[in-house]
Chain A
Amino acid sequence: MALMTRRGAGSAGGGPRSRSQRVHARALASRVCASGARTAMASARVRAAGALARSAFSRYGHFSANGRRSLSASAALLARTHVNYEVKDNVAVIRINDPTSKVNTLTRQLQDDMMEVLNEVWGNSAVKSAVIISTKPGCFIAGANIDMIKVCKSAEEVSKLSKEGQMMFEKIEKSPIPFVAAVNGTCMGGGLEFAIACHYRVATKSKKTVMALPEVMLGLLPGAGGTQRMPKMLGLPTAFDVMLTGRSIRADKAKKMGLVHHVIDPLGPGVKDPEERLIEYLEEVAVGVAKGLAKKTVTVEKKKGLMQKVQDAVLGIPLVRNQVYKTVTQKVMKQTKGLYPAPLSIIEAVQAGVEKGPAEGYHVEAVNFGKLAMTPESRALIGLYQGQVACKKNNFGKPEREVKSLAVLGAGLMGAGIAQVTVDKGVATILKDTTTEGLARGHDQVYKGLNDKAKKKSITTFERDMTLSFLKGQLDYSGFEKVDMVIEAVFEDLSIKHKVLKEVEAVIPPHCIFASNTSALPIREIAAASKRPEKVIGMHYFSPVDKMQLLEIITTDKTSKDTTASAVAVGLKQGKVIIVVGDGPGFYTTRCLAPTLVEGIRILQEGVGPKKLDSLTTGFGFPVGVSTLIDEVGVDVAAHVAEDLGKAFGSRFGGGNVDVLKTMIQKGFKGRKSGKGCYVYSAKKKDKQVNSGTEEILKAFKLTAPPAVSGDEDVQYRLVSRFVNEAALCLQEGILADPVQGDIGAVFGLGFPPCLGGPFRFLDSFGADKLVQKMKRYEDAYGNQFTPCQLLLDYAKDPSKKFHK
């Protein structure tokens, strides 16, 4: 299935289109603002302990040294577990380490400990400068603690959190002694806001050192002074880019941007653990800088280049700045269709700070932060983030044998893609095809994928070559006697799948797993030809494999747990977000997609043009419109799926006429790959034109639209309700184990609007009853395709029932 389904949760400002499109996926992809690992228990404990100390501090602020010390001494003994410090040569080295978690987050306890330490440091006249460093390997501060926000009941409560953060960082910024932030590892969200409140930043070039303000991806804004300091530090355009895309910035890039002053290279092994030594080394360098700052031999100011000076001068003109705000807002509106409030709030906060001064800026930031935290969009995005973290774990235990070598059958788009993500992680991979031409094409695809990375400098050409050396292309089954897993990606035809399964089983070792990359064929039917069905599993990848994050793993009732564990382990190694679903026609994702596409065809037949249909769907939040989606998936594939699933599920999967697709195929309109589908594609023209041939076909199959259910909104909800109803059916039938996987699969695999958080989150926020009401109306017009399933009816009956707690 070719689904290119990603779109920014809100991105604008400077970044090219391709980047912003990738944003969302990346947003959820990785290391965002908090750790999922922390238990509620621990947070509760921490909060309780923090409350004590907090009451003391808020009252006394930072006061005279003596008073403070006597106060804090007892508190330190009791509660200071997250932050400590020592004074080295007049430099206070403040070390952060949250003992309750794998990463440091800005929890209450950490903030309270920090304030306490800061007050002691400020009270000590021998201290001339300070260094802030984390002793946690691979993590400076990963951000604010999401749970802290989630427990808040009102916008005011959240605003208060923001104000506290703002105050702490402002104290550091206005500190009488200079502060150096020594950054190694994740430095995100509140962590980066902390670092930029310091006067000087040193960062390691470790691969783990990543800086970002990813709040926008969670539907929030940088609420601890980020929207105020970033524009000053990076200039308006770059600051908008960083905050509105939430993109990750590596250390050397940060240096170039002016986000950090100094970078140091990671060290190799020495006489102790390299990471431990690196942190020590970072501290040594940072202490050196801190001493220099105190002696004024090191300056905080960076030299500005000519371009920077020109930009500053131009942006000094209020009229120009207004134009910048306008342009950025327009970009955001264009990309988000106004469905994501966070980017607009960020622009507002920045504008307030720049135009009306810091007091107003900080105020707007805090207020907007509170407002955003209460939006359903933010809840949806946070839910997706947490769901994604949950789907990056192997819940089936450690497999008995690690898959060290793998074979992929079929060097087509999918096969080569699977091979690419596998060799990328250093796993020896055989890519087998039946023709040299096919093999050469597949090899080129892998090479191109890696070479593009090299061109973007995310890997070196040497690393590219080394990675490519794990790939072995061949036409026969030699070496298959040693592989641990075979993934077939041959043509979607049961008899062909059976043929390769038998051929493969004749040569592979007994422990080897056979995985089928199919988008709709039931795995149990494929496994029927197997001598060892417990070793057969489905691994449904999405195209393009190297870009799409989702992997849908399908188990039959015969698949062994160890086979599943192995498949999940391989998928995780390939960097995938994984849902594990039960077997059945179309599994989960394809099954939700098919009725949506069929409904899309009916809407086209009813005279809504492809462009209009696209804008209706993207207007609802889908990153790709339905007409474009049909072209991307391939008209032939869509027809195949619609027909197959139509047979399996009967009239419920009816709607549009499959013959529309078949006629299109006959005329050669197979979608983007053939240059024509709903649209005409040409390499030169960016703006695609509607294919008049397809319009004629649609005219020939014209249906009369029932006026009662054909308004724009109804068209949107017809598409969405069929999607959501099918998803609910999958949960009802046990294809889906839980709603979380359902949401993740729909958003990451099919592009269900991220702002809605997935079909189940959508049901929770929209209301199952409201959807059922709409569906009943559509049912009257079209029949059983819109009959709400039992689960939906149950949830509609009792509004207190929610899929997500």
Chain B
Amino acid sequence: MNSLRTCPVNSSRALQFATWALSASAPLQAQAKSKKTLSKPGVRNVVLVEGVRTPFLQAGTTYADLMAHDLARGALQGLLNRTAFPKEAVDYIVYGTVIQEVKTSNVAREAALGAGFSDKTPAHTVTMACISSNQAMTTAVGLVASGQCDAVVAGGVEFMSDVPIRHSRKMRKMMLSLNRARTLGARLSLLGSLRLSHLVPELPAVSEFSTAEMMGHSADRLAAAFGISRLDQDEFALRSHVLAKKAQDEGLLTDIVDFKVPGKDIVSKDNGIRPSTMEQMSKLKPAFIKPHGTVTAANSSYLTDGASAVLIMSEEKALAMGYKPKAYLSDSFSDFLFHGKLTKMRCVSFSPTYAIPKVLERSGLTLADIDAFEFHEAFAGQVLANLTAMESDWFAQNCMGRKAKVGAPPMEKFNLWGGSLSLGHPFAATGCRLVTMVAHRLKKEGGQYGLVAACAAGGQGHAMLVEACPQ
């Protein structure tokens, strides 16, 4: 890994790819849209006022000694600082997390209180694997659209530097019985039943419960099923890193708020962006399916610590309070794709492929109307498989029950500021990062519609349409 990080930035091939992509995007914006706006009569407009995140750091680096709610607090406080929003005006807080710290199982509440939010503001935690904060936002949008709330904070946190490693079930059972044992004799006899096997710890599952398959394994199979080569995957990963580096250097990643780690420096930059060369990347061995697999450490997203938060409001309230909203969050759709057959299904699946046509159809847009795409990049192979699936009539007809393909997004509009492969992927924090980034890109590129899509373990996916607010 080290060699990858230290090698020079200027992979000419990827840069070419990137610059070509950027320059090509300009003329497309003039195109007429099939719809002027997505706002619907009689429905409150829901807006994204602001979105922030802590820097995303590789697990085990500077954040190593913190806890999940510390990072969450950082993102929430950062949001308040940046917006100067009155704390008591927040009606609700929804926060996502995947690997739970058992001490703070409702991390939303702990972090909100710690960040100085009003104790009268209710807070709940959601979990939906890698689309947890997408679900938090969807919940927030619902609360605002239905008129229950005017201002909701949504977000997500993931802390991979520490994960709950448990005692074995046998040991737990014994410890619980010990609690209940009344007499010394009863306790001693329980302790006497202690065996060496009791002490074997239980690690958090790396594989999905229902399929017993690891994500990386699944992604490798997915890539193989769609015939995505190692070269394609490495190129795509390199593109992600190169574009992220460029965005970082140009100061486009303005959603980042500084985070002060107690006893250490102030962190203000993501630390996983590491453009390499194709040669370096091609040297890596497959990480999951050995020896013929194609998914490697370099073309997968890495374990990341980080938190994000967004402020979602009704448009009228936001304007009344003097805010300039960034974007309308118009429609989102979480699709559940779980193949009912008793076969191993795709954990990191093509759920975006399924979710995207649904949100487009519901809003009356076509793929050509979209100016900016932000897809979650769990694995390069998985993204490319999704793009291939979207371009395939066979897949549309045989797997989705559609007449024809949806079509894939053009690369010149796709993840232009890097993605989860390069910026990092703190599971539950990625959704808000995607939405904020697409809003920022629409503003910077002058586009109108953005599309966010993400996949998650359990064969679920999420897609959301974002419309830029008039400047």
Q: Is the CB of B225 within 8 A of A462?
A: no
Known contacts A460-B212, A462-B209, A463-B342; A270 and B225 CB within 8 A of each other: yes
B389, CB-defined interface residue at 8 Å: yes
- B17 interface contact, C-beta 8 A: no
Known A462-B210, A463-B342; judge A271-B292 contact (CB<8 A).
Answer: no
Residues on the A chain within 8 Å of B344, using CB = 265-266, 268
Q: Interface readout for A267-301 with B: 1 if CB under 8 Å, 0 if not?
A: 11111101001001100010011000000000000
B392, closest chain A residue (CB): A271
- Assuming the contacts A265-B217, A288-B292, A466-B342, asked whether A271 and B212 have C-beta atoms less than 8 A apart, the reply is no
Assess the B226–A270 pair: CB atoms within 8 A: yes
Residues of B within 8 A of A466 (CB): 342
Pair B211/A265 contact, Cβ less than 8 Å: no
- B243: Cβ under 8 A from any A Cβ: no
Can you list the 3 inter-chain pairs with the closest CB atoms, starting with the nearest? A270-B225, A267-B225, A271-B392
Cβ contact within 8 Å between A265 and B289:
yes
What is the 8 Å Cβ interface bit string for chain B, positions 84-118, against chain A (1 contact, 0 not)?
00000000000000000000000000000000000
Given A272-B394, A288-B292, A463-B342, also A267-B224 (CB < 8 A): yes
Which B residues are within 8 Å of any A CB, using their own CB? 209-212, 217, 221-222, 224-227, 289, 292, 339, 342-346, 385, 388-389, 392, 394-395, 398-399
- B-side contacts of A274, CB under 8 Å: 225
B225 touches A268 (CB 8 A): yes
Query: How distant is the Cα of A269 from the Cα of B344 in the complex, in angstroms?
Result: 11
Number of A-B residue pairs having CB atoms within 8 Å of each other in the complex: 61
Instruction: Answer whether residue A264 sits at the interface, using C-beta atoms and an 8 A cutoff.
Output: yes
Since A265-B289, A267-B222, A270-B389 are in contact, a sample of 19 more A-B pairs with Cβ atoms closer than 8 Å, ordered by chain A residue number, is A264-B289, A265-B217, A265-B221, A266-B221, A268-B221, A268-B222, A268-B344, A269-B225, A269-B398, A270-B226, A270-B227, A271-B227, A271-B389, A271-B392, A271-B395, A277-B227, A281-B225, A426-B342, A460-B212
A465 closest partner in B (C-beta): B210
User: How many angstroms from the CA of A271 to the CA of B342 in the assembled complex?
Assistant: 21
Question: Residue on A with the closest CB to B405?
Answer: A271
- CA separation between A467 and B224, bound complex, in Å? 29
Query: Which B residues touch A267, using CB under 8 A?
Result: 221-222, 224-225
B226-A271 in contact (CB<8A): yes
What distance in Å separates the Cβ of A75 from its nearest Cβ neighbour in chain B? Answer: 36
- B345: which A residues are within 8 A, CB to CB? 268
The reply to whether A281 and B224 form a contact with Cβ atoms under 8 Å apart is: yes
Contacts of B226 in A (CB 8 A): 270-271
When C-beta atoms are compared, the residue in chain A nearest to B388 turns out to be A271
Which residues on B sit within 8 Å (CB–CB) of A262?
A: 292
Of all chain B residues, which has the CB nearest A205? B344
Chain A residues whose CB sits within 8 angstroms of the CB of B225 once the complex forms = 267-270, 274, 277, 281
Minimum Cβ distance to chain A for residue B456 (Å): 17
The answer to whether A269 and B399 have CB atoms under 8 Å apart is yes
Which chain A residues in 236-263 approach chain B with CB under 8 Å? 262
Q: Which residue of A lies closest to B389 (CB)?
A: A271
Cβ distance A297 to chain B, nearest Cβ, rounded Å: 10
17 contacts between A and B (CB under 8 A): A266-B344, A267-B221, A267-B222, A267-B224, A268-B222, A268-B346, A270-B225, A270-B227, A270-B385, A270-B389, A271-B227, A271-B392, A281-B225, A285-B292, A462-B209, A462-B210, A466-B342
The residues of B that contact A268 with a CB separation of less than 8 Å are 221-222, 225, 339, 343-346
Contacts of B342 in A (CB 8 A): 426, 459, 463, 466-467
Whether the pair A271, B210 counts as a contact (CB closer than 8 A) is no
Distance (Å) between the CB of A339 and the closest chain B CB? 40
Cα distance A280–B385 when bound, in Å? 17
A271 CA to B389 CA, complexed, in Å: 7
Q: Which A461-479 residues have a C-beta within 8 angstroms of B?
A: 462-463, 466-467
* B226 (CB) vs chain A CBs: closest residue: A270
Q: Which residues of B are found within 8 Å of A270, using beta-carbon distances?
A: 225-227, 385, 388-389, 395
- Residues of B within 8 Å of A281, CB to CB, are 224-225
Q: Name the interface residues of A180-235: CB closer than 8 Å to any CB of B.
A: 207
| Residues of B with C-beta under 8 A to A207 | 343
B461 to chain A, nearest CB (A): 15
Q: Once the chains are docked, how many angstroms separate the CA of A280 from the CA of B226?
A: 11
B394 near A271 with CB under 8 A, answer: yes
Q: Give complex CA distance A462, B217 in Å.
A: 19
A566 to chain B, nearest CB (A): 24
User: Which chain A residue shows the least CB distance to B349?
Assistant: A268
Complex contacts, A289 vs chain B, CB 8 Å: 292
Min distance, Cβ B50 to any Cβ of chain A, angstroms: 40
Residues A264 and B211 in contact, CB atoms below 8 Å apart: no
> CA of A285 to CA of B394 in the docked complex: distance in angstroms?
24
What A residues does B211 contact at CB under 8 A?
460, 462
**Chain B residue contacts of A285, Cβ below 8 A:** 292
Chain B CB within 10 Å — which of A271, A289, A460 has the most? A271
Residues of B within 8 A of A426 (CB): 342
Chain A residues contacting B209 (CB-CB under 8 Å) are 462
Bound complex: CA of A720 vs CA of B258, how far in Å?
90
**Nearest CB in chain B: distance from A418 CB, A:** 20
Which residues of chain A (418-464) have a CB below 8 Å from chain B? 426, 459-460, 462-463
Proximity string of chain A (83-117) to chain B, C-beta cutoff 8 Å, 1 when within and 0 when not: 00000000000000000000000000000000000
Q: Which of A266, A269, A281, A467 has the most CB of B within 10 A?
A: A269
Q: How far is B341's CA from A207's CA once the two chains are assembled, in angstroms? A: 13
Residue of B nearest to A207 (CB): B343
Count chain A CB atoms within 10 A of each CB in B292, B339, B399 and give the residue with the most. B292
Chain B residue at minimal CB-CB distance from A288: B292
Expressed in whole angstroms, the minimum distance between the Cβ of A108 and any Cβ of chain B is: 36
Q: What residues on B are CB-neighbors of A272 within 8 Å?
A: 394
Chain B residue nearest to A463 in the complex (CB)? B342
A463 to B341, CA, bound (A): 10
- Measured between alpha carbons, how far is A268 from B399 in the docked complex, in Å? 10
In the assembled complex, how far is the CB of residue A458 from the closest CB belonging to chain B, in whole angstroms? 12
Q: Closest CB-CB distance, B439 to chain A, in whole Å?
A: 33
Tell me the bound Cα distance from A270 to B350 in angstroms: 10
Q: In the complex the two chains form, what is the Cα distance from A466 to B344 in whole Å?
A: 13
Report A-chain residues with C-beta under 8 Å of the C-beta of B217: 265
The smallest C-beta distance from B318 to any residue of chain A, in angstroms, reads 44
A271 to B225, CA, bound (A): 8
Give Cα distance in the complex from A463 to B343, angstroms. 9
Which residues in window 519-555 of A have CB below 8 A to B? none
Distance from A266 Cβ to chain B, minimum over Cβ atoms (Å): 8
What is the minimal beta-carbon distance from A50 to any residue of chain B, in angstroms? Answer: 37
Would you give the shortest CB distance from B206 to chain A, in whole angstroms? 16
Q: What CA separation (Å) do A285 and B224 show in the bound complex?
A: 11
How does the 8 Å CB contact mask read for A21-38 relative to B, with 1 for contact and 0 for none? 000000000000000000
Q: Which residue of A lies closest to B393 (CB)?
A: A271
Residues of B within 8 A of A266 (CB): 221, 344
**Which residue of the partner chain B has the closest CB to A467?**
B342
Minimum CB–CB distance for A285 against chain B, Å: 5
In Å, the complex CA distance between A280 and B292 comes to 14
In the assembled complex, the CB of A496 is this many whole angstroms from the nearest CB of chain B, namely: 37
Distance (Å) between the CB of A642 and the closest chain B CB? 44
Closest-CB distance, B227 to chain A (whole angstroms): 7
Interface bits A135-172 vs B (CB < 8 Å: 1, else 0): 00000000000000000000000000000000000000
Tell which of B342, B385, B394 has the most Cβ of chain A within 10 Å. B342
CA distance A281 to B289 in the complex (A): 13
Instruction: Please give, as numbers and ranges, the residues of chain A lying within 8 Å of B227 by CB-CB distance.
Output: 270-271, 277, 280
Give Cα A551 to B172, complex, Å: 48
For B227, the closest partner residue in chain A by CB is: A270
Q: Assess whether B346 is in contact with A264, with CB atoms less than 8 Å apart.
A: no
Q: Nearest chain B CB to A578's CB is how many angstroms away? A: 24
Which A residues are in CB contact (< 8 Å) with B221? 265-268
Closest to A426 in B: B342
Q: How far is the CA of A755 from the CA of B224 in the complex (A)?
A: 48
**Counting chain B CB atoms within 10 Å of each CB, which of A207, A270, A285, A467 scores highest?**
A270
Residues in B whose Cβ lies below 8 Å from that of A460: 211-212
Chain B residues near A463 (CB, 8 Å)? 342
